Amino acid sequence: MDETPGSVSLFLRLGQAIFSSAALLLMSVGVEFFSYTAFCFLVTIMGLVIPWSCTLAMFNIYSAIFPRSLRHPGLIVIVAIGDMVLSILSLAAASASAGVVDLLLHLDGTHCPPKFCGRYQLSTTMAFFAWFLTAASSLLNLRLVASG
């Protein structure tokens, strides 16, 4: 769909899907994330990033197989705006979670047993990776919109 080198775009999408899935699973399975607003926000946003990235990865594969089938300028604008919104939201979610994890580590141990805290930290790190890749996609698509 977008005209960046297809493999770069596809790798970015796959990376986003992998990192956001990891963040979602680490945060939501077997951990009490629902006690903290920031963690709920992180889970929600990662739940939005996963279908977005998977859909666009499939579009990328499709347009690699059938070149020039999906090149519509309006689509690129929509994808660029969506990427930018999702990258802002995922940065906000990852930062909020990082702030909360740091505070929980500095409070007494009752709020954050070591097993849970490690999961929270790992999930937040994965969310930052997902943000970085989403921001890269967003900049690539913005460049396309500007040049096209």
Nearest to 138 by CA among 92, 88, 96: 88
Site for its own copies contains 100 (CB under 8 A): yes
Site for its own copies contains 147 (CB under 8 A): yes
Measured in degrees and rounded to the nearest 5, phi and psi for residue 108 equal: -70, 165
State the Cα–Cα distance between residues 13 and 116, nearest whole angstrom.
29
Angle at 70 between CA 69 and CA 73, to 5 degrees: 130
State the Cα–Cα distance between residues 148 and 125, nearest whole angstrom.
35
**Applying CB under 8 A, what is the total number of residues that bind its own copies?**
23
CB of 54 to its own copies, least distance (A): 25
Site for its own copies contains 4 (CB under 8 A): no
Which of 58, 64, 78, 103 lies at the binding interface for its own copies (CB under 8 A)? 103
Which of 7, 37, 44, 69 lies at the binding interface for its own copies (CB under 8 A)? 37
Site for its own copies contains 113 (CB under 8 A): no
Which of 14, 25, 81, 143 lies at the binding interface for its own copies (CB under 8 A)? 143
State the Cα–Cα distance between residues 124 and 26, nearest whole angstrom.
9
Closer residue to its own copies in complex, CB, 35/68: 35
Closer residue to its own copies in complex, CB, 26/42: 42
Task: Find the DSSP H helices in the chain.
Answer: 6-28, 37-65, 73-106, 114-147
Which of 20, 53, 97, 121 lies at the binding interface for its own copies (CB under 8 A)? 97
